[in-house]
């Protein structure tokens, strides 16, 4: 698949938005920048990092409190994929300061687990990830992958992240219609931080339907 036209279309949409941006507009710009970044990443274009940074910045700007956990999650994921260690460190600490690791909702705890893994706080990350395992309201394979990364369980991680990729293939919708298993890519980045180097997931690119 030629990802460059996809990236160009998303970039054009990002730049076409004018005027004062409200919270929702910032989220949409973050979504569009992230989609452009994923397409550029799949094309092997180094400009992907800049677009991941744009996505992270827009999602961070959109934060206005409450339980909009998708925004810190998105900002942290984008920074991890940009390999922007300074931003990852700052965002991870901020995410934890929001109380995500002890939040009642699974998505809040997911944000906390990602932040703890990004900071290399493995025992704490494992504890939070274990609270997500076996829940009916959170993907089992994602919870397993988080816990296995924290525990340095290579075999368990390989199985879990493979399931994450497979689950993307069954989805009918993807962010901005860019069919890339970005969660698997982020899990891979976190696994590498804990020395799990041989456990790369299957191709995260989904064939066009």
Q: So what's the pLDDT on residue 179? A: 87
Total length of the chain: 209
Q: What is the pTM of this model?
A: 0.92
- List, in order of start, the domains of the chain with CATH numbers: 4-193 (1.25.40)
Residues 33 and 176: their CA atoms lie apart, in Å, by 10
Q: Where are the beta strands (DSSP E) in the chain?
A: none
> How confident is the model at residue 19, as a pLDDT?
63
φ, ψ for residue 2, nearest 5 deg: -90, 105
Helix 106-118 to helix 140-151 angle (10° resolution) is 30
The span from the first CA to the last CA of the chain, in angstroms, equals 12
Give the mean pLDDT per block of 10 residues along the chain (209 residues).
Answer: 92 82 90 96 95 97 89 97 97 97 96 98 98 96 98 95 88 83 94 80 46
Q: Do 101 and 146 form a contact (C-beta atoms < 8 A)? A: no
Give pLDDT, residue 208. Answer: 40
Distances (CA, A) of 104 to 74, 83, 162: 19, 30, 28
**Residue 160: what pLDDT?**
95
* Neighbour tally for 169: CB within 10 Å: 12
Contacts of 127 (CB under 8 A, 6+ apart): none
């Amino acid at each position: 698949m030629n990802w460059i036209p996809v990236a160009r279309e998303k970039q054009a949409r990002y730049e076409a938005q004018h005027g004062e941006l409200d919270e929702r507009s910032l989220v949409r710009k973050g979504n569009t920048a992230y989609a452009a970044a994923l397409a550029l990443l799949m094309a092997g274009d180094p400009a992907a990092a800049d677009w991941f940074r744009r996505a992270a910045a827009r999602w961070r700007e959109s934060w206005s409190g409450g339980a909009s956990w998708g925004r810190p999650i998105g900002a942290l994921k984008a920074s991890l994929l940009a390999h922007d260690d300074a931003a990852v460190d700052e965002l991870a600490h901020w995410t934890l300061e929001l109380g995500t690791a002890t939040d009642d909702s699974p998505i809040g705890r997911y944000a906390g687990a990602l932040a703890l893994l990004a900071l290399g706080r493995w025992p704490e990350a494992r504890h939070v990830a274990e609270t997500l395992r076996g829940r009916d309201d959170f993907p089992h394979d994602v919870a397993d992958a988080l816990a296995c990364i924290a525990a340095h369980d290579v075999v368990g991680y390989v199985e879990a992240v493979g399931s994450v990729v497979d689950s993307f293939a069954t989805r009918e919708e993807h962010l901005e219609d860019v069919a890339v298993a970005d969660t698997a890519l982020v899990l891979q980045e976190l696994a590498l931080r804990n020395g799990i180097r041989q456990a790369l997931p299957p191709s995260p690119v989904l064939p066009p339907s």
